[in-house]
Structure 1
Amino acid sequence: MKNTRLVFIPGPGMGHIVSTVEFAKLLITHDHRFSVTLFVIKPPDATNVDAYIHSLTSSPNFPKRLQLIHLPTDESQSAPTETAQLIQKSIPHVKQAASDLVQESHSNPDSPRLAAFVVDMFCTDMIDVANDLGVPAVVFYTSGAACLGLMLHLQPLREQGIVDMTSPDFKDSGRELNVPVFSNPVPANVLPGFLLEKEWEGFVDKYVKGLRKAKGIILNTFEELESQAVHSLSEGDTRIYAVGPILSAKDDEKGQQGSDIIGWLDDQPESSVLFLCFGSMGYFGEDQLAEIARALENSGVRFLWSLRKPPPEALRSPTDYSDPAEVLPEGFLDRTASIGKVIGWAPQAQVLAHKAVGGFVSHCGWNSILESVYFGVPIATWPLYAEQQPNAFELVRELKMGVEISLDYWMDRRNGSNSGVISREKIEKGIKEVMERESETRKKVKLMSELSRKALTKGGSSYSYLSRFIDDFMNNSM
């Protein structure tokens, strides 16, 4: 039988690209009949993406049946660009690249046939390209099942006028919504910002309708973690495949910097270090940094703090400070030198995997949540943007696997505005709770860590969902 080629199209963001590559590797390892060609849409500010792809493709273990194609970029585009714009501009390039693959298959008997598209949750416009080529398309959803269910449930209610989430007083109304994928009512103030803003209505409508066009949705989660959400979604019309946790196998250590971080952790007692990291796009102003610093100092806990500098332009990535002392309280670094380390970029997965790390202050991006669960490290929640607020709510209120610093903090990446300064007292309380050695939260995370590993093994829930996806695809029963 001729090998089957799948085209994967990740969104133009680091978290989306990494998890998509890891899923592609998982798929071709699981079934030798598949080859994957991944179309890379690069944002203008793509230094971290370039570094990741270089480390990936230069590895001797890079799979032969995984091919990366860089789609053409607009070299004149130097200003920051919204994700939706980048994806729209990439549609003609995707059509051309996919057509080239079809032509190659026709002219070369040894070339795999193009059989389907696997598109990122934000790239559902590419489903029309797949339809034009006569192949099915499925969505790879890089966030959790509860987030997917929230979007599928609320968008029709808004469109039908049943719930007006964009009215000025809705967010702070105290209203709670019953959503099938959650066992607890969801407060209005933890809904994603893009559901609450009038200017995003068109995007949300198009986004959800795009998801509904897919033949199936592959979820980066596992049944044991989000059992209610997975079961609720499985009762709908769209086929659901919970195949996670899909994690990056190894971070690019950035040479000596990564070695220094891991070396410092090697010298710390087991489960004694609090790790603070807010993702590839997270940063704070000096007032908030001062409150975090005071909370750390007052708590007395050992800490590793990934501190990032605000970008000079909206939608750009934060960078590292040349001298963190410039933005931290005077003398803080000297006073905490024996128990803490302030760094810039951090090899997050390697840090969380280290036995010295006992707690994690996180923005609650879905990849970060999966990594914390997999490595058994409880989270203190501090969401920033996108779907991170409902992620934090799910972690704390639904799953009882996190502690709260905030559930409804937000920042606007377009202009740097945010919901205010969280006090040192509130931060310190969250720090102490997440570092408790014998807490019920820690016990639940440790148990879920074991279940996450079992899910991926033969007979496990995620292994079975992946096998089901392959069977449905090969039998044309999607």
Structure 2
Amino acid sequence: MKKTDTIAHVKEWLEAQWTFANESPSVIYVAFGTIACLRAEQLIQMADALMPYPTIWSLKATLHKHLPPLFIDDRKHLLLDWAPQRFILSHPATRFFLSHGGWNSLVECMLAGKPVLVWPWFGDQMPNGFRVEKEFGIGKCMQNTDILHHQRILSSDEITSYIKQMFEQEEENIQKAETVQDIFMDAKDNSSQLYFEEINKIIDDQVLARTNKHNNL
């Protein structure tokens, strides 16, 4: 399928979910970049946890065979070998992003003003997940998932627990995600390069300034 055809198909699918959910966000978007390689056992646990929810999952076609047939042949779940990530994140039907926490993905998520559940694997993904939860307050970071823990298999129950935590703090996550979106757009417009430390400093300074302004009112 051509990329233009995929985008059209995704748009149609998202619009259908938007209508079905009475024009409220309901879709979980799942993507772990191009490097991460999930084991079959983990894919099964993920599919079981995601089964109740409308889901777009960007997953290599060679891995689709490991998923339960009910997940693949279900209008509620859309599997894509390649996904138009920015388009999906910007669509109102998308509820939150389940990501590995790569900086480029988080940038796109923040630009879209969406909450994010980070499932970190290695490198800067762990500190990125920490900032998402503890500093930016736009989501959650799963614990003990990195290569130091030998990429342990997360159970369906554990994944479900994180998803429910995202729902429970959804209002706060959305509010902060939209605030970060505004700040990030300002930073993007006023910076020629989206370097991690530079953008983080701009965000931190502006968040602090807005917090101080609010406290002084």
1:52-74 CA-partner distances (Å, limit 9, x unpaired)? xxxxxxxxxxxxxxxxxxxxxxx
Match of 2:53 among 291, 296, 301: 301
Match of 1:380 among 99, 102, 117: 117
Q: How far apart are the structure 2 equivalents of 1:435 and 1:302?
A: 14
- 2:25 paired with 1:292: no
The Cα shift of 1:435 comes to 4.0
The SS at the match of 2:17 is: coil
The Cα shift of 1:330 comes to 4.5
Aligned to 2:21: none
Instruction: Could you tell me which runs of 5 or more consecutive residues in structure 2 were left unpaired when the two chains were aligned.
Output: 19-23, 195-217
- 2:196 paired with 1:447: no
The SS at the match of 2:28 is: strand
Q: How far apart are the structure 2 equivalents of 1:433 and 1:340?
A: 21
* Bigger helix share: 2
Asked if 2 retains the 8 angstrom alpha-carbon contact of 1:358 and 1:435, the reply is no
The SS at the match of 1:255 is: helix
The Cα shift of 1:386 comes to 2.1
Match of 1:262 among 3, 6, 11: 11
Asked if 2 retains the 8 angstrom alpha-carbon contact of 1:359 and 1:435, the reply is no
Q: Cα 1:411–1:255, aligned 2, differ >3 Å: closer, same or farther? A: farther
1:129-167 CA-partner distances (Å, limit 9, x unpaired)? xxxxxxxxxxxxxxxxxxxxxxxxxxxxxxxxxxxxxxx
Match of 2:146 among 410, 427, 440: 410
- 2:12 paired with 1:275: no
Q: How far apart are the structure 2 equivalents of 1:255 and 1:340?
A: 20
| Counterpart code for 1:447 | T
- 2:67 paired with 1:328: yes
Task: Show the 5 A alignment for 1:71-86.
Answer: none
The Cα shift of 1:376 comes to 0.8
Q: How far apart are the structure 2 equivalents of 1:262 and 1:423?
A: 31
Q: Cα 1:350–1:411, aligned 2, differ >3 Å: closer, same or farther? A: farther
Asked if 2 retains the 8 angstrom alpha-carbon contact of 1:389 and 1:409, the reply is no
Match of 1:351 among 85, 88, 105: 88
The SS at the match of 1:331 is: helix
Q: How far apart are the structure 2 equivalents of 1:425 and 1:439?
A: 23
- 2:136 paired with 1:399: yes
After TM superposition, the score normalised by the length of structure 1 is 0.36
| Counterpart code for 2:7 | G
The Cα shift of 1:285 comes to 0.8
| Counterpart code for 1:254 | K
The SS at the match of 2:3 is: coil
Asked if 2 retains the 8 angstrom alpha-carbon contact of 1:389 and 1:407, the reply is no
Asked if 2 retains the 8 angstrom alpha-carbon contact of 1:307 and 1:342, the reply is yes
Aligned to 2:127: 390
Q: Cα 1:330–1:254, aligned 2, differ >3 Å: closer, same or farther? A: closer
Aligned to 1:367: 104
Match of 1:428 among 135, 160, 183: 160
The SS at the match of 1:284 is: coil
| Counterpart code for 1:341 | L
Q: How far apart are the structure 2 equivalents of 1:394 and 1:456?
A: 19
The structure number with the bigger radius of gyration is 1
Aligned to 1:317: none
Task: Show the 5 A alignment for 1:52-91.
Answer: none
Asked if 2 retains the 8 angstrom alpha-carbon contact of 1:292 and 1:427, the reply is yes
Q: Cα 1:268–1:436, aligned 2, differ >3 Å: closer, same or farther? A: farther
The SS at the match of 1:361 is: strand
Asked if 1 retains the 8 angstrom alpha-carbon contact of 2:121 and 2:151, the reply is no
The Cα shift of 1:332 comes to 3.0
Q: How far apart are the structure 1 equivalents of 2:103 and 2:175?
A: 21
Q: Cα 1:438–1:328, aligned 2, differ >3 Å: closer, same or farther? A: closer
After TM superposition, the score normalised by the length of structure 2 is 0.76
Q: Cα 1:435–1:275, aligned 2, differ >3 Å: closer, same or farther? A: farther
Asked if 2 retains the 8 angstrom alpha-carbon contact of 1:351 and 1:357, the reply is yes
Q: How far apart are the structure 2 equivalents of 1:376 and 1:351?
A: 12
The SS at the match of 1:267 is: helix
